[in-house]
Every structure is written in C-alpha cells, then in structure tokens.
C-alpha cells in the first residue's frame, strides 16, 4: 500500500491511497479538484473511489467537479447532507473498494463535527480533523464527552498505526503541547525534529498512534473534564 500527500489550500493534505505502485487511487477528502488532477496526471493513474470524513467545505469542495470525470463510489458519512456520497457509512461498518483487497473499518468520531467518521485498515488510519499530530480539531458541533470518546477510540488502535491527518498543524500544536506539559521530554525532542522538517519544507505526517500517545495532550487526557479544559485553553492559546 502506498499513500501520498497532495497539498491543497494553505495547509490541507488530500491523501491518495494506492493498493500498489501504479494503481488507481482512493482520494481522501478532495477539498480542491485541481491539485488532485495534477497529481493524477503526474502519476498517470485514475481514481477508484473517494473517502469523505466530514462535511466541511475544505474536505468536499472538489468532489462534484472530480466526479464529472471519474464516476466512482464515494464513501462518506450517512445523513444525505453531503452531495455526491453514494455509500453512506455508520460506526463499525466494514467494506472493500473494487480494485483494493484491503478491508476498511469505519469509526464514528463526533466532536469536530457530528458527522465525522474515520477510515481504518490495519496499519493505516485516515482521521480527517478528529486527530492532528499533537492536537485535535476544534469542537464545532460535538460535546466534550463525544470528542473525548472519539479520541479514546482511536487511541485503542495499535501503536504502529500510521495516522493521516488532514492538516499540517503539527508545529503550532506542539507549542501548545509544550505549554500543557512543559516537563514532557518526548514533546521537547519531537518539537526539535518538527522544526527541522518544516525549515526544509517537509511534511510532518503521517504520525503514529504510538507517537501521539507520547506527545498529544488531547489523546493523553484521561478524563472528559481534563479534555474539555485543554480544548478550551487551546481555543484561546
């Protein structure tokens, strides 16, 4: 399995999943159409399916345009509120995409939005805006109880699981993580690594579940109250 990051907007990543090198791709959260088209042309491949994690425009705006040229399945949240979704999904649904032998499991992860879902296949989790490296999404629609439960669901995945977040927020998130846990040596060390990567224009993703358990205050929050205090503090940080 090969996963490539397609940069979009200022800090989004549209993920392209290929079962093997040269295969058509599954496109995750196509907020923009043109970066996807450029990537497809550069790799001389097509699209086998789309995965949508939630309804926000920067994850969906390119979908309908791309569907004009690629009549393929679109897997996304149930509810009928996202135009183009042909295969609505719920918590713990399992499915496979034609052309890809892997099975994907869906996790409902409300918090950032109520409709947010994540896509998991052994070794890889596509988490949209639920989990960021050293952070999590803003709580636009969910409750602290929902968001904390969603993060704990992801924390139960194997430590070796690659985590594909939808934004390059790692450096800013680590500044907050250092304020929240100033004695955490793992955060201190990782902050230096991330600074070096970003100075050279390199991405910090994917992360792993194991790493996030060490450096992410939100994933490390043991109670709902702790999580809620962190999220409120981060909103004002």
Question: What's CA 141's distance to the chain center, in Å?
Answer: 17
Out of 55, 124, 148, 167, which one is annotated catalytic?
Answer: 167
The answer to whether residue 54 is catalytic is yes
The answer to whether residue 90 is catalytic is no
From the list 173, 155, 174, 165, the residue with the least C-alpha distance to 221 is 155
Residue-level pLDDT at 17: 98
The answer to whether residue 58 is catalytic is yes
Out of 24, 116, 129, 148, which one is annotated catalytic?
Answer: 129
Are 206 and 15 in contact, with CB atoms under 8 Å apart? no
The answer to whether residue 59 is catalytic is yes
Out of 24, 29, 58, 115, which one is annotated catalytic?
Answer: 58
Out of 54, 55, 116, 148, which one is annotated catalytic?
Answer: 54
pTM confidence score? 0.97
Find all residues with CB under 8 Å of 85, minimum gap 6, and list them.
Answer: 52, 74, 75, 76, 77
The residues facing 68 across adjacent strands are: none
DSSP 54: -
Out of 29, 55, 56, 116, which one is annotated catalytic?
Answer: 56
What string of pLDDT tens digits covers the 237 residues of the chain? 999 999 999 999 999 999 999 999 999 999 999 999 999 999 999 999 999 999 999 999 999 999 999 999 999 999 999 999 999 999 999 999 999 999 999 999 999 999 999 999 999 999 999 999 999 999 999 999 999 999 999 999 999 999 999 999 999 999 999 999 999 999 999 999 999 999 999 999 999 999 999 999 999 999 999 999 999 999 999
The answer to whether residue 112 is catalytic is yes
Going from N- to C-terminal start, the domains of the chain cover 2-235
The answer to whether residue 129 is catalytic is yes
Per-residue pLDDT tens digits for 188-223: 999 999 999 999 999 999 999 999 999 999 999 999
The answer to whether residue 56 is catalytic is yes
- Cis ω for the linkage preceding 206 (within 30 of 0): yes
Residue-level pLDDT at 171: 97
Cα torsion through 35, 41, 42, 48, rounded to 10: 80
Q: What is the CATH number of domain 2-235?
A: 3.60.15.10
Residue-level pLDDT at 82: 98
Helix ranges restricted to H, the chain: 34-43, 57-60, 63-67, 144-155, 170-180, 185-199, 209-215, 217-220, 224-235
Q: Which residues are annotated as a binding site for Zn(2+)?
A: 54, 56, 58-59, 112, 129, 167
């Amino acid at each position: 399995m090969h996963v490539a990051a397609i940069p979009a907007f200022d800090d989004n990543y549209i993920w392209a999943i290929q079962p093997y090198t040269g295969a058509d791709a599954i496109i995750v959260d196509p907020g923009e159409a043109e970066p996807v088209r450029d990537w497809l042309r550069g790799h001389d491949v097509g699209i086998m399916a789309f995965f949508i994690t939630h309804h926000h425009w920067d994850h969906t705006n390119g979908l309908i345009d791309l569907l004009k040229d690629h009549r393929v399945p679109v897997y996304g949240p149930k509810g009928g509120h996202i135009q183009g979704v042909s295969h609505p999904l719920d918590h713990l649904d399992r499915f496979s995409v034609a052309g890809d032998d892997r099975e994907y499991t869906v996790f409902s992860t409300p918090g950032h939005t109520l409709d947010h879902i994540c896509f998991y296949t052994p070794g890889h989790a596509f988490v949209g805006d639920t989990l960021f490296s050293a952070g999590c999404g803003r709580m636009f629609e969910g409750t602290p109880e929902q968001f904390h439960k969603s993060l704990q669901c992801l924390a139960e995945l194997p430590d070796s699981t690659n985590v594909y977040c939808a934004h390059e927020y790692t450096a800013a998130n680590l500044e907050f993580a250092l304020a929240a846990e100033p004695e955490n040596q793992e955060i201190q060390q990782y902050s230096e690594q991330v600074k070096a990567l970003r100075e050279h224009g390199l991405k910090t993703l994917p992360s792993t579940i194991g790493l996030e358990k060490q450096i992410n205050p939100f994933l490390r929050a043991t109670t709902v109250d702790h999580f809620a205090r962190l999220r409120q503090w981060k909103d004002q940080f």
